[in-house]
Amino acid sequence: MPKDIEPRLLRAFVAAAEELHFTRAAARLYVAQQALSRDIRRLERDLGADLFVRTTRQVTLTEDGGRLLPYARRVLAAHDELTEAFAPAARPLRVDIGAPVGTGHLVLEEARGAAPEQEFVARFLSGLAGAAAEILAGRIDVSFGRVAGLEPAVRAGLSHQPVRFERMAVLLPEDHGLAALEEIPLAALAGETLYAAAGNPATAEWTDLAARLFEGRDIAMAEPFPEIVGKEEFVRVVRRRGWSVLASTDFIDVPGMVLRPLVDPVPLSPVSMVWRKGQRHPGLAVLRAVARTLEEAGGWLAQPAGSWLPEADRACLVARTES
């Protein structure tokens, strides 16, 4: 066993282990595939162990590769923490808020006011499932969304802080028969078809929440549709296809449509702040403090009487990780 292993070799290994595809892993690290393969062969040579089984059809981890992965992640997290601690100035924190409305947007704006010396750069990805992959790849730092909807292997590399229960709502064409109501009972949606981002892997956690809500209520989900990017395109597609949309009460304005909260019961969409496990950054500390202040002042984690929340999400809140 060598005394020192270069972080570059561990980064190549972790990327390949998470992607299980050398071409994608190389693209993620912005290196040539030959360079990535060379680094992994060197690491295998240094460790005296085969880390991958490579065939023409797939790449899988060996037992030694699976054993190395958690150690490699911890070493890289510590290395990144050390680098950030001694940087001449804190780099900008890249924060995915999904859209310029909602919980992430409110936390980000408050953080900018609380720490004007820190640069927070907003990103607008469409869902936490997609953002989580970007966090683990080191391309963004923080996102917001429903942690219980992520794959367990993805959650293992992330920390999260519950922030808010957003009330769920439905976006209806203004001439819809239910649009005149101030609130929509869930039972009134029986027989309706709602768009819930089916077909977009980046928002898989939201589609899963919708499926749990619709189950047993005779509410259908709109057929899978390619990812819709940007407000203008969302408005165009939704209006063209005549969809009603499952949403939250904090949502973008869509001309010709009305937003109505759902009741009986009140369905909740749990929102956590999410970052890479072990990450340290002064901007992250600001975001966490601001989120906690807003949550406490606004009662953001209070659950209305008779509200609806999947058991998987309750369990995730109990197992909250804030380290």
Tens of pLDDT, residues 196-219: 999 999 999 999 999 999 999 999
Q: How many domains does the chain have?
A: 3
Query: In this structure, what CATH number is given to the domain that contains residue 129?
Result: 3.40.190.10
Phi/psi for 102 (5° steps) reads: 95, -175
Q: Which residue has the higher pLDDT, 299 or 229?
A: 299
Q: Is residue 1 part of a domain?
A: no
Q: How far is CA 296 from its chain centroid?
A: 23
Instruction: Please state the length of the chain.
Output: 323
Do residues 105 and 27 share a domain?
no
77 & 100 share domain: no
Q: Are residues 258 and 287 in the same domain?
A: no
Are 132 and 273 a contacting pair, CB within 8 Å?
no
Helices and strands (DSSP H and E) totals, the chain: 11, 13
* Same domain, residue pair 280 and 152: yes
Residue 89 has pLDDT above 60, yes or no: no
Q: Do residues 118 and 282 make contact, with C-beta atoms less than 8 angstroms apart? A: yes
The strand pairing partners of 246, in sequence order, are: 170
What's the domain range around 237?
Answer: 167-267
Which of 60, 85, 110 terminates a domain? The answer is 85
d(CA 19, CA 157): 14
Q: Across the strands, what pairs with 193?
A: 220
pLDDT range class, residue 278, cuts 50, 70, 90: confident
Residues 220 and 280 in one domain: no
The answer on 225 and 193 residing in a single domain is yes
Q: Which region among 56-60, 102-106, 129-133 has the lowest average model confidence (pLDDT)?
A: 56-60
Within-domain flag for 35: yes
The string of pLDDT tens digits covering residues 251-276 is 988 899 999 999 999 999 999 999 99
Looking at residue 29, which CATH number applies to its domain?
A: 1.10.10.10
Domain presence at residue 127: yes
Q: Which residues contact 250 (CB under 8 A, 6 or more apart)?
A: 101, 102, 103, 166
What band does 87 get if pLDDT is binned at 50, 70 and 90? low
Using a pLDDT cut of 90, give the percent of the chain over it: 68
Given a cut of 60, whether residue 54 has pLDDT beyond it is yes
**Distance in angstroms (rounded) separating the CA atoms of residues 271 and 161:** 9
Please indicate, yes or no, whether residues 148 and 272 belong to a single structural domain of this protein: yes
Whether residue 323 is contained in a domain is answered as no
Q: Tell which of 23, 54, 85 closes a domain.
A: 85
Domain boundary among 50, 85, 120: 85
288 lies in a domain?
yes
C-alpha to C-alpha distance for 128 and 293, rounded to whole angstroms: 23
Question: Span 39-63, mean pLDDT?
Answer: 92
- Same domain, yes or no, for 255 and 274? no
Domain co-membership, 191 together with 242: yes
% helix, strand, coil for the chain, step of 5: 45, 20, 35
**2 located within any domain:** no
Residue type, 278: G
Please state the separation of Cα 96 from the chain's center in Å.
9
- Asked if 212 and 241 sit in the same domain, the reply is yes
Work out the average pLDDT over 183-195. 96
Asked if 261 and 313 sit in the same domain, the reply is no
With beta carbons less than 8 A apart as the criterion, state whether 86 and 75 touch.
Answer: no
Is 65 inside any structural domain? yes
In a domain, 145, yes or no: yes
Q: Are residues 141 and 274 in the same domain?
A: yes
